[in-house]
Homo-oligomer: A and B are copies of this chain.
Amino acid sequence: MSTSPIRFGIIGCAEIASKVARAISLSPNATLIAVGSRSIDKARKFISDNALPASTVPLTPYDAVLNHPSVDAVYVPLPTSLHVTWAVAAAKKGKHVLLEKPTALCVEELDVILQACRENRVQFMDSTMLMHHPRTEKMRELITDPTRFGEVKTVDSIFTYSADENFLQNDIRVKPDLDALGALGDVGWYCIRSILWANSYQLPETAVALRGPVKNNAGVLLSCGAQLLWPDGRTATLNCSFLAHLSMQLTVIGTKGLLNVSDFVIPYEEGKTSFAFVTDASELATGWDPVPSKHEVLTDLPQEARMVQEFARLVKLIKEEGKEPETKWPEISRKTQLVIDAVKKSVDNGFEPVEIIG
């Protein structure tokens, strides 16, 4: 395989795009060649603010990125309501699609995107960075080991952060015409993904929203929770909010083991991460035996750069070796979106259980 990097364009200069622009530059098999915005000045400013190479082309409108012949793949950090339009447009132009989460406003929209990607043989991946951290891989090794973990019984996943007044008034994530899923789509996405991850991506059968969700005046969720249930008795709870201090607590309890991680979405530190794990612990009068071990996992590349690297690797296989797109990533996206939709429906129907059909 050639050593030429996969060439990215970005459409939309959202804040998160800075992080991904850095990730593209850190990734050994990727390069950012174009930034598209609704205004050429914004595109220029993004390039200069992020100290991108002088060779990076500012473009307007977004179509200019999709029409650029050298662009292999696009990263799409636009508001969720625009995903279907622009992800489909990108696919139709043969550009591979790295799509910011939540992937869509509902699974029907996502299915339109995924169909366009399949029909145009482009790779689809959502931008859930934690999936690519080596810690995530290490934790999965442990919780899928029947000897050390037994079977998963319950998962508890919390992701909250405290949005400031400006965010709560003006951010796209509180606007019904932009990111109508609010906190559920923004932070709840990670909770649901982590729960699916811990359950080897087996879809729950039922979602039931917890009581007390908070919505803004426009009806967008600022805070909510839910319970998920599987036919064999497994359960999970999730809590997500824009209205409480930063927290990212994931607890996975098996029949024989326990995993605890307190920074599952964005590690406390970029290069050095940890989690706690224990097998077959008992409580004695004087403490636990054994005490959970702290497992450290180091990484040279931050998780978002590893995400870009993996995406670019798949794109390269398609582009240079004629391989088919990897179906694992769109499948996981779709399951996450299905659960999001079910939780939203349960919030809206007064906390009644909603069946999840895959």
Binding site for B on A (CB under 8 A): 18-19, 22, 150, 153-154, 156, 158, 160-162, 206, 208, 210-212, 214, 225, 227, 229, 233, 235, 237, 239, 241, 243-247, 249, 251, 253-258, 260, 262-263, 266-270, 276, 278, 280-283, 285-288, 291-292, 302, 353
Contacts and interface: CB of A to CB of B under 8 A. Distances in A.
In the A-B complex, the 8 residue pairs with the smallest Cβ-Cβ separation, listed nearest first, are A153-B244, A268-B291, A244-B253, A19-B285, A270-B286, A268-B288, A246-B281, A269-B287
B244 A255 contact: yes
17 contacts: A150-B245, A156-B158, A156-B237, A156-B239, A212-B229, A235-B239, A245-B254, A245-B278, A245-B281, A247-B253, A249-B249, A249-B260, A260-B262, A266-B288, A268-B288, A270-B287, A286-B302
Contacts of A214: 233
A158 B286 CA distance: 20
Nearest to A160: B253
Nearest to A285: B19
Contact of A253 (B158, B227, B278, B281): B158
A211 B353 contact: yes
Contact of A245 (B206, B249, B257, B353): B257
Contacts of A227: 210-212, 225
Contacts of A258: 245-247
A91 to B, nearest CB: 28
Majority secondary structure of chain A interface residues (helix, strand, loop or mixed): strand
A211 B228 CA distance: 9
A253 B242 CA distance: 12
A246 B288 contact: yes
A28 to B, nearest CB: 19
Contact of A268 (B235, B241, B245, B287): B287
Contacts of A302: 286
A26 to B, nearest CB: 11
A163 B318 CA distance: 51
A252 to B, nearest CB: 9
B287 A266 contact: yes
A288 B268 CA distance: 5
A267 B244 CA distance: 27
Contacts of A153: 160, 241, 243-245
Contacts of A156: 156, 158, 237, 239, 249
A286 B271 CA distance: 9
A121 B247 CA distance: 46
A267 B153 CA distance: 23
Given A162-B256, A245-B256, 14 more contacts: A156-B237, A158-B253, A160-B253, A211-B227, A211-B353, A212-B227, A225-B235, A245-B258, A245-B281, A249-B260, A268-B292, A269-B291, A270-B286, A286-B302
